[in-house]
Each structure stands twice: as structure tokens, then as C-alpha cells.
């Protein structure tokens, strides 16, 4: 196993994953999940990620629910969550942060912002 | 003095007002206040009168009669005090009126009967009743009755009264009489004044009201006009804005989409190709959204106009099917058309019809995971000159509930919000379709069952010229006794084909698979063999091509004519079936007329045929613009490049004019025969725009037949109309759709070009097996294997041939060229600067030589020209050539560098792969990939891209496609399954290394 930190990218759109994956590759090891269920499965597995980039709007289990489930779990609670969302309203942001997310990044993702955010969260 | 009088009058008036309002309460109506006043004033009047009468009586010593008027006054004051305290108007009025009626009665009794002057007083009470009338007519009627009864009663008792009446002196009687007359006059006068004032008040009120209303109206009208002006301005601004936005957005989109098209034609790595495809899909989707919004806004503004042009229904169906083919294919669906006896030549708006069909079909495709989508078409009503058609689009998708279906046609609404998330879309499509069908005089509706699919049906009116109608089926064809076998795995498709054949008088039988087809053919060999086989290409297990191969192998059979049905034009299919003698290819949707054409082509029309002469089907007429010379008029360089490339790609010769004026000069300047076969004219250009230029060219008089096709970024009908008015034959919108460009040009280019192409196509049909085109086609790109020495602008093949096939040497040459000749033009120009003619000539010569040896034709040509002018001593011309030479050189070196880099990358992978035993290498790759996938590691996608070429080298690509799709889609769970299938197929164990 490499000693790189692991970032889990959760988004139902392949293109978004592709871009973020490209962006983080090299500095971090990435894992990907296309839906909430899969994300939880990875996050609560034996090798949990060090950070989760979590899309809010997903069919089935949405980002909020994933976040909530993570908070209910001893191990899941330890993993910092950064939400990705297309909706920039204050209420949405508030809701996300209220659920225990450490930060919020709005889509379309600004590569520099995302990268800076990931670095900051993982190195603090 | 006058002022004090005025002030006093005012004070008295105020006092009266105050007294008059003692019965008023908060919230009383104006009417109620008026009534209170009337009662109080009447009481004051009567009370005042009472004091006067009492005093007169008292003066004459008549003490008893004096009590009556005094008493009346006192009671009135008491009654008003009651009104003031209790505010009960009804009660107070009752007492007041009652007292007023009893008062004269008492007087009469005390003063000597009705004949006496007291009786006059009684009559004067009429005024009281009269005044009451103003308050309440019903009430006063009742009081009047009471009053009359009292009067009559008092008449009966008159004698008795007289007996006890007081004897009055002459003076008192006179005084009574005078006062009575005075009071009555005063009352009459007062009432008249009151009535008059009331009347005037009303009149005034009316006038005032009328005036106020008029003022209001005037103001409202002004306001409305102002608002209307504002709204109109806003609307105009919106339209202008929309038109501008449409142009502003579409122009750069044109660049994006066009450039991607061009980029996709260059040599790309797999990954780059994928990225570009994604860009293309996104850009096209964006353009779709923009168009939707534009359409919707226009419909909302009532600005959408329907065209009324003749069109062929079949063409619309064919367009729809061509546009949707990639999507249909990607999802593994079937798109079927069931066309009943519907006239083909209609009048209406084919683009809008296409739009509705595309909207509905796109919807269907989006929500259907497997199965088929069926478009049924039938006539519902026929009149003399118009016809109502019904189109039904049935899918086997997820369907929806009745509640969802209800909301579906509203703008921005989809069946469910989650649908937006899962399937995307603006939700405008159906709303637009609804408005469009309404504009076509029809309606649209949906029937759907959750989980079972939906049927979207719409009806629309079309113009229909009874004379040119062409109904296909009733024609008698002499194909009786022929037997056809239909092979298709899709039930609906079989049914459609069979019913069409039936109408042509051909007996048919349908089977579901190639295996069954073979069995059936075998069975009938001896007795009654089939003459025709209609085979679907894409079928599970054994496909159509394999079926034909099987048939052709059985040489002892009676060989049937084979018509291959395919969902899309495919080079691959031609390549595969080339040796198999497929008699004809039919592209879905198969319409009665295309099937008829194909059959006619294959079978001949039969002896009594009324069928038109066989025409080359679309398939044979590939776009071939050789010997076609197009004048491209376009000011924007990028667009120039795109259009030019598209035209050159199909073999056309292209001359460029940079603006309208240039075009006009180039066309009208010709005295001889014009070298151009057609003009592609951008509409928006500086100096002289496309419309003006077209008009000037048409005005010349000589070029009325010259096809001029407009290029516009506006998708508006108004623009189109403008173009047609200016003399353009047709307009196409940017971004340019290559197919549409070719089709439009083909439609309008003169007969000479068309016939030439057609002849070629016909010749090809005859030559059949060895069509030159099929051999040549792969070189032009497409799905054919890429020439590994394909350098853009280079004739690498000839060079290698000249080097006796030594590819290594050629590569070394390329390398040396790229490394050593980068600044040769700079050196050359310096030599010219220093006036060293010999050096310059030598440099140019060397460059020419090297360029020729590596096959860089353009560069060699430029260098040759440079050498020539230098030799001639024309340094001026040489200097002018330098920029071109530098650019060509830079381009050539760029091409070579990219090529070498690609080559190197390819080899590294190969070396890696071949380091171990080959199967072992693949196994290793698959295991590594498997590890990534199981671990949900984002590395998987890059790893697959990295090893893709090696894998493809070792394994058949079809096997890998599913894997590639799921990995690129980050659906790793599916990827694991796909990978397991691949591994199992080649017998590789995927056990994880760490397990």
C-alpha cells in the first residue's frame, strides 16, 4: 500500500469524477463511488479514505443522507467531508455544514479551489 | 361687518350641524346621518313652533291650551336627550312622529274643532308626513294612514269637540290663522329649497363623478399606453436580445463543434478521442438547450411561425432515424417505423415536425433501457386539400403514473424532480412539442402505465395536394408468386416488413433467428425455395452477415436475393459482406417506398409494372464532390477553415472570398463561364453582408441558376425568409452539420454534378463486387484501420517506397528533419539579408530536397518556389514567400514531432507487453486492473487507457468495449463483472494478488 492519502470522490456524473480524479492524481490516491450506497460502503470499509468529496444531488441516497449516516458511525465520523454542490444557496450550505461537513465547494468545480481545499483539509 | 356676518352664519351652521348630529354614531352611513339630521331639525322646528303657540295662548289667558304646545316642546327636548344618550334612532323617531300627530289633535280639541283655525294646524301636519317620505317611503305610508284615520276620527267627534271648545276672541283666531298660513308657506318654501338643493347636490355629485371618472379614465388610458409602450419596448428588447444571444452563442458554439469535428479527424490517442467525443456530446447538448430555450421563448411570445413548404414525409423519417442512430445503437434499442397508407408529399413545416418527433423519440430513448421504440403513422382525417396525420411514439421504458403524465406538458416540468437528476434535460421539450402541434392544428397526449412504457401521440394537419399524391400500395406489381423470408429478432420489425411485402403481393414468412432461417430455407429447398431473404444485420448469436455467409456456402441451394436491413450506414457491414453478394442494403426505417425501390432494384419491376424506374438508393450515392468547385464566402477565419475542410474532405475544390464584396467581384468579374458550381455564403459579414452580396450577384442577371447556400448563425425563420428573399436557394445554420451541408449542396448543385455522381453510383452497382469506392473508403478515415504512417500533409507511403520499404530509415529521416531543419528558414532569411545569394539558394534547395524525401509535399513545393525566385534574382518575391515557408516548415515539424511521439509511446507499451510471454502480459494487466476496480481506485481509468493499446493488440476489441464503457463511466462494479467476462473468455485467473 502506498502511503499517499486517500480521497474518495462521490458523484453520479462520470465527467465530474474524471476531472477531479485527474486533478488529485499524483498527490493523492483516489477512490471513486458513483452513488451514496457505494460511498458508504467504501467509507466504512477496513481501509477508509482520508477525505470524502461528496456530491449533494444524487439519485437514490443523496449526499446529505450519506453524511448523516457517516456521522452515526464511529469510524465514519472521523472522515472529513467536503460537499460538492451546484446549488449555492445559504440554506443548502448551512444544512451541509450542520451535518458535520468541513467545507463546501460549488460546481462547476474550480480546479485550483478544489485542490487548495483538499490540501488544506488533509494537512490541518 | 360682512366678515362678522359670515363668521356668525358659519357659527350658526356649525351649531346646527352639531345639534343635527346628536343621533349619529361612529360607522353610520351618510344616509343614516342625513335621516338623523332631518328628524332633529323637524323636532326643532316643531318645538320652536310649540313655544310660539304656547306663548300666544298664554298671552290671551288660555292657560290650558298653552300647556299643549309647551308640553310638546318639552317632550321633544326629552326625546332628543334620549336620542343623544341611547342613540336609538328608530325609537326616537317613533315618539317624535307620534307626538307630532297627537299635537294638532290636542289643539283641535282645545281650540274648537276642525272648522276652527286649529284645524288648519292639523292640515299643516301633512308637511311632517311629507318630510318623512324622504326618509322612508314605507314608513311614511303607514304614518299617512294613521294620520288620515285620525283626521276622519276627528271629523266624527267634531260636534262633541265644539261643545267643549274654548270660545276664542276674534284677535286670537286671526293670529292663529296668520301664523298658520305663514308657517305653512315657510314649510313649503323650505321644502322646495331643500328639494332643490338636494337635486342640485345630486346633479353636482353626478357632474363631479363624471368629471372624476373622466379624469381617472384619461389617466388610466395614459398609464396603460405608457405601460404598453414599456411592454412593447421590453418585448422588442427581448426579441433583439434573443436574436443577438442566439447569434452570439451559436457563433462560438460553431467554433467549438466544428473544431472538435476537425480534431476528431486527426490522429488521436484513444484517450484524446474519448475526451473530444465528450466535448462534442456536451457541446451538442448545450446547443440543444439553447435552441430549446429560444424556441420556447418564441412560442411564448407568439412569434413562432410555421412554414408552409412542400416536403417528403419519408425524408423526415429518414432524418430522424439518422440523427438518432448513434443513441439507439449505444443503448442497444430498436427504432421502428410503421407507416400505413400515408401520402408522402405534404405541405407543412418539416423541420418542426422533425423537432417534435425528435423530442418524443429522445424522450423515449432516454427512458427506455431495453426493447424497442415504435413510431406508427396513420391518416386520421382527409379533406380536399389537407390531411390530418397521427404519429404515435411507443416506448417500452419506465412509464409514469397518471399524475405525472398530467403535468408533463407544462414548461420546465418533468415527471419527477429525481428524473431531472437521473436523466437530465430542461423539461422544455414536451412543452415545445405541445405548442408546435397546436400550431399545426393538432394536439398531443400521452398514455402511460408505470413500468410498462408510454405512448406519446400527436396529430397535426398538413397541406396535401391531391394531384401529386403518390400512394404506394395500390399499385399492381407483378411480383405474385414470389416468396420472401424475413429474418429479424424483433417482433414488431418482422410484422412491419411482412405486412409491406404482403401489400406488394409477395408471400412472406417470418422467423426470429438466423438458425431458424437456415432451417426454413433448407426445408423449402426441394419444394418451393425462397427467392428473397430480408435479413436484419444485428441479431443475437448469428447475425445477418453470418447468415448470408452460411447461405452462400451452400452452393447446391437455389440462391435467394438477399436484402440486408441495418439500423445505420456502416462501413463495417460493407467490408464484411463485400464477398457475400448482398443484393441490396436497406437502412432502417424501412418505409414502403424504400422497400419498393430496393425490391425493384433487385427483382426488376415485373412485366406490367407501373413502378417508376429504379433510382440509386441513398446508399450508393455517397457524397462525392469531385470536380465540384465551391466559392466559400466567409469572413471568420475559423469558420473558413471548418467549412473548407468539410468540403475538401469530400473532394470539392474550394475558393475563398473573405467578404461579400470580394465574392461579388469574383463572380461578376467573370466574362467567361464561371468556374464555380455553387456558393456557400456567410450571412453576417462586414462591408457587404451575405444578403446584399447575393442580391447583387442575382441582379447581375447571368447567375440566376447559380446555387447560393446561406450560412447563418440565426436559427430563426425570419432570417431564412430574408435569405430566400435575397435570392439564396437555401440557408443552413451554423454550427455546420456536415451531413446537412453535403445534402443541401447536393440538392442544389447543378445537374452536371449530380448526374456525374449518380452515374458513378450506378456504375458501382453494376460492378457490384469490386467497387472502387469500398476499397478507397478506408483511407478516408472512419472505422477502418488507421494507416500507421498517416502524417497529415505527408505522402509517407511513396517516400517509404522510394526508400525500398525501409521504414526505419524513413523514421530516422523524419527525426533528423525535425531536429536539424527547424531554423533553416531563419538562416535563409539571414543569408538574404546579408545578400549571400548562393547560400540562400543552397539552403532553399536543401530544404526542398529533404522535404521531398520525407514526402512533405507542401513544404517541398514552397521551398522549390523559393529556390526558383532566388535563382532568378527576385529577392523581393523571395522575401514575400518567407512567411509562408516558415509557417509550412513549422507545421511540418509539428506534425513530425507529434507523430514520432505517438510512435514512441506505442512502442514503449509494446516493449512492456512483449517483455514477458504475451498471454502473461495481458493477464498481468488484467489482474492489475482488476485490483484497481475491486478497490474502487480512481487509477483504474488511467491504467486502462495506458494499457488499452496493448490489450487491444492481444484481444478482440468487441470483448473489451463493455469493459471500457463501464470503466470510463466509473461504474466499477459493472467493470468488475465485464472484466471477469473478458478474463474468463481468455482463460485468465483474476485472483487478487493480496488474497
Interface A–B counts its CB contacts (< 8 A) at: 48
For the residues B667-672, what does the mean pLDDT come to?
78
Interface of B with A in 276-315 (CB under 8 A): 278, 282
Beta-ladder partners of A106? A85
Q: CB distance A59–B970 less than 8 Å?
A: no
- B788 touches A at CB < 8 Å: no
Q: Answer whether residue B26 shows pLDDT above 50.
A: yes
The answer to whether B281 and B237 have CB atoms below 8 angstroms apart is no
Pairing state of beta strands A29-33 and B730-733? Answer: unpaired
Q: CB distance B941–A31 less than 8 Å?
A: no
The answer to whether B416 and B427 have CB atoms below 8 angstroms apart is no
Distance of CA B763 to the CA centre of its chain: 44
**Lowest-pLDDT range, B525-534, B597-606, B658-667?**
B597-606
**DSSP alpha helices (H): ranges in B554-617?**
571-577, 592-603
**Lowest-pLDDT range, A83-87, A100-104, B187-191, B377-381?**
B187-191
Nearest to A31 among B282, B421, B938 (CB): B938
The answer to whether B473 and B419 have CB atoms below 8 angstroms apart is no
The answer to whether B63 and B51 have CB atoms below 8 angstroms apart is no
For the residues B403-411, what does the mean pLDDT come to?
72
The answer to whether B398 and B418 have CB atoms below 8 angstroms apart is no
Q: Which of B372, B364, B533 is nearest to B454 (CA)?
A: B364
Cα B52 to Cα B47: distance, rounded to the nearest angstrom? 9
Q: B954: which residues sit within 8 A by CB, 6+ positions away?
A: B913, B918, B919, B921, B922
Of the two residues B147 and B725, the one the predictor is more confident about is B725
CA distances from B651 to B618, B621, B631, B742 (A): 18, 14, 14, 11
N- to C-terminal Cα separation, chain A:
23
- B942 touches A at CB < 8 Å: yes
Q: B10: which residues sit within 8 A by CB, 6+ positions away?
A: none
Å from B296 to nearest chain A CA?
Answer: 24
For the residues B691-705, what does the mean pLDDT come to?
86
Beta-ladder partners of B652? none
The predicted-structure confidence for B629-658, as pLDDT tens digits, reads as follows 899 998 877 677 778 877 887 778 888 888
Å from A81 to nearest chain B CA?
Answer: 18
Neighboring chain B residues of A34 at a CB cutoff of 8 Å: 969-972
Neighboring chain A residues of B973 at a CB cutoff of 8 Å: 38
Q: Is B507 in a helix, a strand, or coil?
A: strand
What grid cell was written down for B432? 415545445
Neighboring chain B residues of A42 at a CB cutoff of 8 Å: 936
**Lowest-pLDDT range, B275-279, B478-482, B545-549, B929-933?**
B478-482
> What is the pTM assigned to this prediction?
0.39
User: What whole-number percentage of chain B has pLDDT above 90?
Assistant: 2
E strand segments, B801-932: none
Q: Answer whether residue B486 shows pLDDT above 80.
A: yes
Residue of chain B whose alpha carbon sits nearest to that of A45: B935
**Lowest-pLDDT range, B29-43, B134-148, B601-615, B676-690?**
B601-615
Nearest to A57 among B421, B942, B968 (CB): B421
- B984 touches A at CB < 8 Å: no
Q: How confident is the model at residue B184 (pLDDT cuts 50, 70, 90)?
A: low
The predicted-structure confidence for B533-556, as pLDDT tens digits, reads as follows 998 888 888 888 888 888 888 877
- B417 touches A at CB < 8 Å: no
Q: B763: which residues sit within 8 A by CB, 6+ positions away?
A: none
Q: How confident is the model at residue B417 (pLDDT cuts 50, 70, 90)?
A: low
Q: CB distance A59–B418 less than 8 Å?
A: yes
pLDDT value, residue B502: 81
Residue with cell 402541434: B437
Residue of chain A whose alpha carbon sits nearest to that of B936: A31
Nearest to A34 among B278, B941, B971 (CB): B971
For the residues B285-300, what does the mean pLDDT come to?
75
Of the two residues A46 and B989, the one the predictor is more confident about is A46
CA distances from B698 to A47, B660, B676, B703, B727 (A): 76, 13, 15, 6, 7
pLDDT value, residue B875: 80
What grid cell was written down for B349? 413545416
Q: CB distance B936–A15 less than 8 Å?
A: no
What grid cell was written down for B954? 492481444
For the residues B99-127, what does the mean pLDDT come to?
61
Q: Residue B337's CB: how many other CB atoms inside 10 A?
A: 22
The predicted-structure confidence for B864-906, as pLDDT tens digits, reads as follows 888 888 888 788 888 888 888 888 888 888 888 878 877 776 6
Q: How confident is the model at residue B308 (pLDDT cuts 50, 70, 90)?
A: confident
What integer best gives the mean pLDDT of chain B? 75
pLDDT value, residue A9: 93
Cα B178 to Cα B626: distance, rounded to the nearest angstrom? 130
Nearest to B938 among A9, A38, A59 (CB): A9
pLDDT value, residue B121: 52
pLDDT value, residue B916: 40
Cα B534 to Cα A70: distance, rounded to the nearest angstrom? 59
Q: CB distance B938–A17 less than 8 Å?
A: yes
- B418 touches A at CB < 8 Å: yes
Of the two residues A2 and B793, the one the predictor is more confident about is B793
What grid cell was written down for A35? 452513488
Q: Identify the residue among B970, B971, B973, B975 best suited for mutation to test binding to A, counting A beta carbons within 10 A and taking the highest.
A: B970
Q: Answer whether residue B615 shows pLDDT above 50.
A: no
CA distances from B774 to B174, B562, B574, B587, B767 (A): 141, 19, 8, 18, 11
The predicted-structure confidence for B115-155, as pLDDT tens digits, reads as follows 554 554 555 565 566 556 556 667 777 777 877 787 777 77
Q: CB distance A30–B422 less than 8 Å?
A: no
Query: What letter does residue B505 receive in the DSSP assignment?
Result: T
Q: CB distance B278–A15 less than 8 Å?
A: yes
Q: Answer whether residue B616 shows pLDDT above 50.
A: no
Cα B238 to Cα B297: distance, rounded to the nearest angstrom? 9
Q: Answer whether residue B428 shows pLDDT above 60.
A: yes
Å from A82 to nearest chain B CA?
Answer: 18
Å from B782 to nearest chain A CA?
Answer: 26
Q: Answer whether residue B782 shows pLDDT above 50.
A: no
Interface of A with B (CB under 8 A): 8-9, 12, 14-15, 17-18, 21, 24-25, 29-34, 38, 42, 57-59
pLDDT value, residue B781: 36
Predicted complex ipTM = 0.87
Q: B530: which residues sit within 8 A by CB, 6+ positions away?
A: B483, B484, B485, B520, B521, B524, B560
Of the two residues B993 and B824, the one the predictor is more confident about is B824
Nearest to A32 among B278, B421, B938 (CB): B938
For the residues B40-54, what does the mean pLDDT come to?
81
pLDDT value, residue A32: 93
Neighboring chain A residues of B969 at a CB cutoff of 8 Å: 14, 34
Q: CB distance B973–A38 less than 8 Å?
A: yes
Q: Is A82 in a helix, a strand, or coil?
A: strand
- B936 touches A at CB < 8 Å: yes
Neighboring chain B residues of A31 at a CB cutoff of 8 Å: 935-938
pLDDT value, residue B757: 35
Q: How confident is the model at residue B718 (pLDDT cuts 50, 70, 90)?
A: low
Residue of chain B whose alpha carbon sits nearest to that of A48: B935
For the residues B731-756, what does the mean pLDDT come to?
68
pLDDT value, residue B608: 31
Q: Answer whether residue B389 shows pLDDT above 80.
A: yes
Q: Identify the residue among B936, B944, B964 best suited for mutation to test binding to A, counting A beta carbons within 10 A and taking the highest.
A: B936
- B941 touches A at CB < 8 Å: yes
Q: CB distance B937–A31 less than 8 Å?
A: yes
Of the two residues B702 and B912, the one the predictor is more confident about is B702
Nearest to A17 among B418, B970, B973 (CB): B970
Q: CB distance A34–B418 less than 8 Å?
A: no
pLDDT value, residue A79: 92
For the residues B557-574, what does the mean pLDDT come to?
76
Taking each helix axis from N to C end, the angle separating B875-915 and B918-934, rounded to the nearest 10 degrees, works out to: 90
Residue of chain A whose alpha carbon sits nearest to that of B935: A31
pLDDT value, residue B606: 43
Q: CB distance B936–A59 less than 8 Å?
A: no
Q: Identify the residue among A20, A29, A31, A61 best suited for mutation to test binding to B, counting B beta carbons within 10 A and taking the highest.
A: A31
Q: Is A106 in a helix, a strand, or coil?
A: strand
**Lowest-pLDDT range, B196-200, B351-355, B380-384, B772-776?**
B772-776
Q: How confident is the model at residue B771 (pLDDT cuts 50, 70, 90)?
A: very low
pLDDT value, residue A33: 93
Of the two residues B402 and B759, the one the predictor is more confident about is B402
Nearest to A32 among B278, B418, B936 (CB): B936
Nearest to B938 among A25, A38, A58 (CB): A25
For the residues B601-622, what does the mean pLDDT come to?
40
Q: Is B393 in a helix, a strand, or coil?
A: strand
Q: CB distance B972–A32 less than 8 Å?
A: yes
What grid cell was written down for B705? 441558376
Mean pLDDT (10-residue bins), chain A, 124 residues: 82 82 85 92 91 88 90 90 75 77 78 82 82
- B994 touches A at CB < 8 Å: no
For the residues B332-337, what does the mean pLDDT come to?
80
Cα B338 to Cα B119: distance, rounded to the nearest angstrom? 108
pLDDT value, residue B752: 44
Q: CB distance B936–A12 less than 8 Å?
A: no
Amino acid at each position: 500500500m502506498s502511503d499517499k492519502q486517500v480521497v474518495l470522490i462521490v458523484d453520479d456524473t462520470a465527467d465530474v469524477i474524471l476531472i477531479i480524479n485527474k486533478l488529485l492524481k499524483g498527490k493523492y490516491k483516489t477512490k471513486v463511488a458513483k452513488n451514496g450506497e457505494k460511498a458508504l460502503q467504501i467509507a466504512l470499509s477496513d481501509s477508509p479514505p482520508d477525505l470524502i468529496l461528496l456530491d449533494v444531488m444524487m439519485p437514490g441516497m443523496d449526499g446529505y443522507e450519506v453524511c448523516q449516516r457517516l456521522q452515526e458511525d464511529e469510524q465514519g465520523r472521523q472522515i472529513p467531508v467536503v460537499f460538492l454542490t451546484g446549488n449555492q444557496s445559504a440554506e443548502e450550505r448551512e444544512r451541509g455544514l450542520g451535518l458535520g461537513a468541513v467545507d463546501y465547494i460549488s460546481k462547476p468545480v474550480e480546479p485550483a479551489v478544489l485542490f487548495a481545499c483538499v490540501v488544506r483539509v488533509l494537512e490541518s | 361687518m360682512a366678515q362678522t356676518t359670515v363668521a356668525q352664519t358659519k357659527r350658526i351652521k356649525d351649531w346646527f350641524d352639531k345639534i343635527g348630529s346628536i343621533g349619529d354614531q361612529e360607522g353610520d352611513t351618510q344616509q343614516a346621518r342625513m335621516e338623523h339630521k332631518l328628524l332633529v331639525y323637524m323636532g326643532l322646528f316643531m318645538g320652536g313652533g310649540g313655544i310660539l303657540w304656547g306663548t300666544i295662548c298664554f298671552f290671551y289667558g288660555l292657560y290650558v291650551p298653552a300647556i299643549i304646545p309647551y308640553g310638546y316642546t318639552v317632550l321633544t327636548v326629552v326625546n332628543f336627550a334620549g336620542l343623544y344618550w341611547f342613540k336609538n334612532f328608530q325609537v326616537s323617531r317613533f315618539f317624535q312622529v307620534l307626538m307630532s300627530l297627537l299635537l294638532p289633535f290636542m289643539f283641535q280639541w282645545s281650540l274648537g274643532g276642525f272648522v276652527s283655525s286649529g284645524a288648519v294646524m292639523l292640515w299643516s301636519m301633512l308637511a311632517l308626513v311629507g318630510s318623512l317620505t324622504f326618509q322612508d317611503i314605507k314608513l311614511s305610508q303607514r304614518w299617512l294612514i294613521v294620520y288620515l284615520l285620525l283626521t276622519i276620527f276627528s271629523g266624527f267627534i267634531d260636534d262633541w269637540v265644539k261643545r267643549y271648545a274654548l270660545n276664542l276672541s276674534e284677535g286670537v283666531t286671526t293670529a292663529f290663522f296668520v301664523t298658520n298660513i305663514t308657517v305653512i308657506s315657510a314649510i313649503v318654501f323650505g321644502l322646495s329649497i331643500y328639494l332643490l338643493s338636494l337635486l342640485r347636490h345630486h346633479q353636482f355629485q353626478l357632474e363631479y363623478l363624471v368629471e372624476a371618472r373622466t379624469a381617472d379614465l384619461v389617466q388610466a388610458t395614459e398609464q396603460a399606453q405608457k405601460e404598453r409602450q414599456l411592454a412593447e419596448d421590453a418585448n422588442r428588447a427581448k426579441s433583439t436580445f434573443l436574436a443577438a444571444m442566439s447569434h452570439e452563442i451559436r457563433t462560438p458554439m460553431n467554433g467549438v463543434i466544428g473544431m472538435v469535428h476537425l480534431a476528431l479527424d486527426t490522429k488521436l490517442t484513444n484517450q484524446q478521442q474519448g475526451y473530444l467525443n465528450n466535448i462534442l456530446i456536451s457541446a451538442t447538448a448545450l446547443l440543444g438547450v439553447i435552441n430549446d430555450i429560444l424556441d420556447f421563448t418564441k412560442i411564448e411570445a407568439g412569434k413562432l411561425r410555421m412554414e408552409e413548404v412542400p416536403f417528403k414525409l419519408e425524408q423526415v423519417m429518414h432524418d430522424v432515424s439518422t440523427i438518432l442512430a448513434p443513441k439507439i445503437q449505444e443503448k442497444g434499442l430498436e427504432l421502428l417505423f410503421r407507416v400505413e397508407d400515408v401520402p408522402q408529399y405534404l405541405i407543412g413545416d418539416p423541420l418542426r415536425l422533425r423537432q417534435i418527433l425528435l423530442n418524443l423519440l429522445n424522450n423515449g430513448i432516454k427512458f427506455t433501457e431495453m426493447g424497442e421504440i415504435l413510431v406508427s403513422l396513420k391518416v386520421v382525417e382527409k379533406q380536399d386539400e389537407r390531411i390530418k396525420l397521427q404519429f404515435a411514439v411507443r416506448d417500452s421504458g419506465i412509464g409514469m403514473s397518471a399524475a405525472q403524465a398530467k403535468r408533463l406538458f407544462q414548461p420546465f416540468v418533468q415527471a419527477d424532480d429525481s428524473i431531472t437528476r437521473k436523466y437530465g434535460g430542461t423539461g422544455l421539450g414536451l412543452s415545445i412539442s405541445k405548442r408546435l402541434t397546436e400550431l399545426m392544428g393538432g394536439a398531443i397526449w400521452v398514455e402511460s402505465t408505470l413500468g410498462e412504457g408510454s405512448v406519446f401521440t400527436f396529430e397535426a394537419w398538413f397541406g396535401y395536394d391531391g394531384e401529386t399524391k403518390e400512394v404506394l400500395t395500390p399499385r399492381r406489381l407483378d411480383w405474385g408468386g414470389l416468396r420472401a423470408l424475413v429474418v429479424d429478432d424483433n417482433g414488431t420489425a418482422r410484422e412491419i416488413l411482412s405486412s409491406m411485402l404482403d401489400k406488394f403481393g409477395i408471400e412472406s414468412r417470418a422467423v426470429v433467428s438466423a438458425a431458424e432461417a437456415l432451417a426454413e430455407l433448407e426445408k423449402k429447398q426441394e419444394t418451393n425455395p425462397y427467392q428473397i431473404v430480408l435479413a436484419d444485420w444485428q441479431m443475437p448469436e448469428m447475425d445477418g452477415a453470418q447468415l448470408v455467409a452460411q447461405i452462400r456456402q451452400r452452393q447446391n441451394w437455389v440462391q435467394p436475393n438477399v436484402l440486408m436491413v441495418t439500423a445505420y450506414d456502416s462501413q463495417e457491414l460493407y467490408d464484411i459482406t463485400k464477398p457475400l453478394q448482398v443484393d441490396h442494403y436497406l437502412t432502417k426505417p424501412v418505409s414502403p417506398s424504400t422497400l419498393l425501390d430496393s425490391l425493384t432494384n433487385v427483382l426488376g419491376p415485373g412485366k406490367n409494372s407501373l413502378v417508376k424506374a429504379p433510382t440509386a438508393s441513398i446508399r450508393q450515392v455517397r457524397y462525392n464532390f469531385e470536380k465540384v468547385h465551391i466559392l466559400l464566402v466567409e469572413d471568420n477565419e475559423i469558420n473558413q477553415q471548418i467549412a473548407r475542410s468539410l468540403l475538401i474532405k469530400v473532394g470539392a475544390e474550394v475558393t475563398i472570398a473573405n467578404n461579400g464584396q470580394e465574392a461579388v467581384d469574383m463572380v461578376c468579374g467573370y466574362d467567361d463561364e464561371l468556374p464555380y458550381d455553387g456558393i456557400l455564403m456567410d450571412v453576417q459579414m462586414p462591408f457587404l453582408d451575405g444578403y446584399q452580396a447575393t442580391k447583387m450577384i442575382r441582379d447581375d442577371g447571368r447567375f440566376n441558376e447559380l446555387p447560393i447556400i446561406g450560412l447563418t448563425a440565426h436559427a430563426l425563420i425570419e432570417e431564412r425568409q430574408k435569405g430566400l428573399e435575397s435570392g439564396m436557394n437555401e440557408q443552413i445554420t451554423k454550427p455546420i452539420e456536415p451531413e446537412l451541408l453535403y445534402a443541401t449542396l447536393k440538392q442544389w448543385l447543378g445537374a452536371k454534378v449530380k448526374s456525374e455522381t449518380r452515374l458513378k453510383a450506378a456504375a458501382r452497382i453494376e460492378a457490384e463486387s469490386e467497387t472502387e469506392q469500398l476499397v478507397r473508403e478506408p483511407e478516408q478515415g472512419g472505422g477502418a484501420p488507421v494507416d500507421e504512417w498517416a502524417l497529415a500533409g505527408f505522402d509517407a507511403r511513396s517516400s517509404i517506397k522510394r526508400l525500398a520499404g525501409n521504414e526505419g530509415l524513413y523514421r530516422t529521416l523524419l527525426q533528423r528533419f525535425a531536429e536539424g531543419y527547424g531554423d533553416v528558414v531563419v538562416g535563409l532569411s539571414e543569408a538574404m539579408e546579408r545578400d549571400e545569394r548562393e547560400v540562400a539558394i543552397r539552403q532553399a534547395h536543401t530544404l526542398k530536397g529533404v522535404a521531398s524525401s520525407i514526402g512533405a509535399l507542401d513544404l517541398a513545393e514552397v521551398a522549390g518556389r523559393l529556390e526558383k525566385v532566388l535563382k532568378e534574382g527576385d529577392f523581393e518575391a523571395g522575401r514575400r514567400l518567407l512567411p509562408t515557408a516558415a509557417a509550412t516548415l513549422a507545421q511540418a515539424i509539428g506534425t513530425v514531432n507529434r507523430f514520432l511521439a505517438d510512435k514512441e509511446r506505442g512502442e514503449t507499451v509494446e516493449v512492456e507487453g512483449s517483455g514477458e510471454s504475451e498471454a502473461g502480459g495481458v493477464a498481468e494487466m488484467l489482474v492489475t486492473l482488476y485490483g484497481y476496480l475491486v478497490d474502487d481506485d480512481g487509477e483504474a481509468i488511467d491504467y486502462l487507457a495506458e494499457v488499452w493499446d496493448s490489450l487491444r493488440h492481444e484481444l478482440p476489441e468487441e470483448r473489451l468495449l463493455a469493459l471500457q464503457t463501464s470503466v470510463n463511466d466509473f461504474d466499477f462494479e459493472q467493470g468488475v463483472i465485464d472484466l471477469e467476462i473478458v478474463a474468463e473468455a481468455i482463460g485468465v485467473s483474476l485472483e487478487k494478488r493480496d488474497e
